[in-house]
Amino acid sequence: MTLIKSISGIRGTIGGQTNDNLTPVDAVKFAAAYGTWLKSYSGTDNLKVVIGRDARLSGEMIQNLVVSTLVGLGIDVIDLGLSTTPTVEIAVPLEKADGGIILTASHNPKQWNALKLLNEKGEFLDAEQGAKILALAEKEDFEFAEVDDLGEIITNDSYIDIHIDEVLELPLVDAETIKKAGFKVVVDGVNSTGGIAIPKLLEELGVEVVKLYCDPTGHFPHNPEPLKEHLGDICKKVVEEKADFGIVVDPDVDRLAFISNKGEMFGEEYTLVACADYVLSKTKGNTVSNLSSSRALRDVTEKHGGTYEAAAVGEVNVVTKMKANNAIIGGEGNGGIIYPESHYGRDALVGTALFLMLMAERGGTVAELRASYPSYFMSKKKIELTPDLDVDALLEAMHNKYKDEEVSTIDGVKIDFPENWVHLRKSNTEPIIRIYTEAKSQKKADDLADRIIREIKEVAGL
């Protein structure tokens, strides 16, 4: 059982002891810390916060606790109910709210839940703001409102439809072009809110939808992280249905993966590559992804005459770098598309629409599109941490070992070799070291990862 407190929010498993898991007491404490910080940050007592949740089993319980806590602080709450992470993000500025909380543990299994915290722009908090909230939660120095000053709850369940309308109004999305293409698409919504939002969007775009696990019960039919080993059902379904492709999202709909017409993974890394290819073909500009993302984005960006830069892992870091470099599209290699023309947040609805436009205009199959991109293969492995392991010293030792190569230390240690790369970093959400490698074949990527794991174990004496 685990409780992980980070600058981006609090994430933990349901049940067990307080301070060790995400119990009702912990949910109240961190909601109170956020509300208290927000009063100080905004400089007013008349606050409004947008709340939405994915469909996981503990969602309603956690939402009731969080909403009641904010009301107890004298903060008005706009309750979106079942929603998506990007939907809450766009709702905050549309409602002129002071902040937002998304109740979701993203790709984590059903026993997890989390509070993801947003500012008045509907964007994730920065490190300094997150640290202040953690300190407030530690002190538990909260002042609640008197009875006449309690906040109000305003229910608004229309925001998924509003979000879809926002996507349809994007200049680079043309519903008629997509309708004419006559696509048939299978959707795996992992029995969460993607099963509501993605089919609705597709139907608005004239796409024939085959639903798979689109009932938002919170009973995930497979591990909800959209990786190849979890997606056998949709891969088969795409072929059986003779569909053009498949769409998979995680429970809160900020990650997006495609299945080709052959029932094969398009590759989460290539979701961003394809969407960027379409956007860059229409609008000249730069791109950003994180250090653990594929080199293919750099290649496609340079093909279109733009400049690519890498940010530290984490959505807030990517967004900061995108703003600094005026990037017109960016995101993360886990299928997270950030398109500032819409908003600065990972959004599977936006990514779906951009991908459909690319396919409608290019023609051909999804398998052919994938074959047209630079071919890189990634290995994603991890080493479980032990309490006595000095991870920083371990990463420093690997840095020194490869100091003659191109090395970045803005987030862990990334070593760029001429033909491949390896990125070593501590996870922010799990007690592990992640080891990402990329090479020109799967065998080379796996072999590089295995070699680095052996070297780490030698240095650590494991």
- Could you tell me where the beta strands, DSSP code E, fall in 54-166? 76-82, 99-103, 112-118, 153-155
Position 7 scores a pLDDT of: 67
Residue 421, both tokens: 């790369």
Share of the chain above pLDDT 90, in %: 87
Position 3 scores a pLDDT of: 85
pLDDT tens digit string along 352-398?
Answer: 999 999 999 999 999 999 999 999 998 989 888 776 778 888 899 99
How would residue 346 be classed by pLDDT, with cut points 50, 70 and 90? very high
pLDDT tens digit string along 135-150?
Answer: 999 999 999 999 999 9
Mean pLDDT of the residues in the chain: 95
Mean pLDDT value across residues 77-104: 98
Position 428 scores a pLDDT of: 62
**Residue 57's CB: how many other CB atoms inside 10 A?**
14
* Local structure of 419: helix, strand or coil: coil
Alpha-carbon gap, residue 286 to 308, rounded angstroms: 6
Res. 343: pLDDT tops 60: yes
Residue 106 bears catalytic tag: yes
Res. 1: pLDDT tops 60: no
Catalytic residue (choose from 106, 192, 289, 292) = 106
pLDDT tens digit string along 243-296?
Answer: 999 999 999 999 999 999 999 999 999 999 999 999 999 999 999 999 999 999
In DSSP notation, 223-284 reads: -SS--GGG-HHHHHHHHHTT-SEEEEE-TTS--EEEE-TTS-B--HHHHHHHHHHHHHHHS-
Measuring CA to CA, which residue among 240, 180, 237, 168 is closest to residue 207? Answer: 180
Residues 6+ apart with CB under 8 A from 411: 290, 291, 312, 313, 314, 317, 425
Alpha-carbon gap, residue 389 to 375, rounded angstroms: 36
Q: Measure the CA angle with vertex 358, ends 354 and 364; round to 5°.
A: 145
Measuring CA to CA, which residue among 278, 256, 264 is closest to residue 332? Answer: 256
How would residue 217 be classed by pLDDT, with cut points 50, 70 and 90? very high
Mean pLDDT value across residues 83-91: 98
- The number of residues in the chain equals 462
Mean pLDDT value across residues 46-70: 98
The residue that leads in pLDDT, 431 or 344, is: 344
pLDDT tens digit string along 303-333?
Answer: 999 999 999 988 999 999 999 999 999 999 8
Res. 430: pLDDT tops 70: no
**Block residue for tokens 């043309």:** 174
Mean pLDDT value across residues 227-244: 96
pLDDT tens digit string along 108-125?
Answer: 999 999 999 999 999 999
